[in-house]
């Protein structure tokens, strides 16, 4: 029922920009904090950014602070990650994460992840 679908990844040169999207369905999107994570080849998945349910609060990993902007449009059930001034170190699969989601009054909270979208920063 719950679905998270990332899109917008691709190949970009250093210094370039990309905007990732995460389309969510199957839960009351506006009630929940949402997050972006990323995973580079051979490395552990790492935290990137958080946005509050109403979109009025954000948090970023130090590695992306000042370059990335997380946002959401609750009318479209979509979260975004605007990535500017991209560096080769940003190369990774980027994942949308929705933690502790309840889809019913008696349902247990569950964690959901999208399938990921590949971002490659290379000249």
Question: pLDDT, tens digit, for every residue of 53-105?
Answer: 999 999 999 999 999 999 999 999 999 999 999 999 999 999 999 999 988 88
* pLDDT score, position 49: 98
Note the pLDDT tens digit of each residue in 35-51: 999 999 999 999 999 99
User: Which residues, other chains included, contact 7 with Cβ-Cβ below 8 Å and sequence gap of 6+?
Assistant: 20, 21, 23, 117
pLDDT of the residue at 53: 97
Residues in the chain: 123
Provide Rg for the chain, Cα atoms: 14
Report which of residues 1 and 113 the model is more confident about: 113
How confident is the model at residue 105, as a pLDDT? 87
pLDDT at residue 86, rounded to an integer: 98
- The reported pLDDT for the residue numbered 69 is 98
Distance between CA atoms of residues 43 and 63, nearest Å: 15
């Amino acid at each position: 029922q719950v679905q998270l679908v990332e899109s917008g990844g691709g190949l970009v040169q250093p210094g370039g920009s990309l905007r990732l999207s995460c389309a969510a369905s199957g839960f009351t999107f506006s009630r929940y904090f949402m997050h972006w994570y990323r995973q580079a080849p051979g490395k552990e998945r790492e935290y990137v950014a958080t946005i509050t349910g109403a979109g009025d609060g954000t948090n970023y990993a130090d590695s992306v602070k000042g370059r990335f902007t997380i946002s959401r449009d609750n009318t479209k059930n979509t979260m975004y990650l605007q990535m500017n001034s991209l560096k080769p170190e940003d190369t990774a699969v980027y994942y949308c994460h929705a933690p502790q989601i309840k889809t019913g009054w008696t349902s247990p909270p569950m964690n959901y992840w999208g399938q990921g979208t590949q971002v490659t920063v290379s000249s």
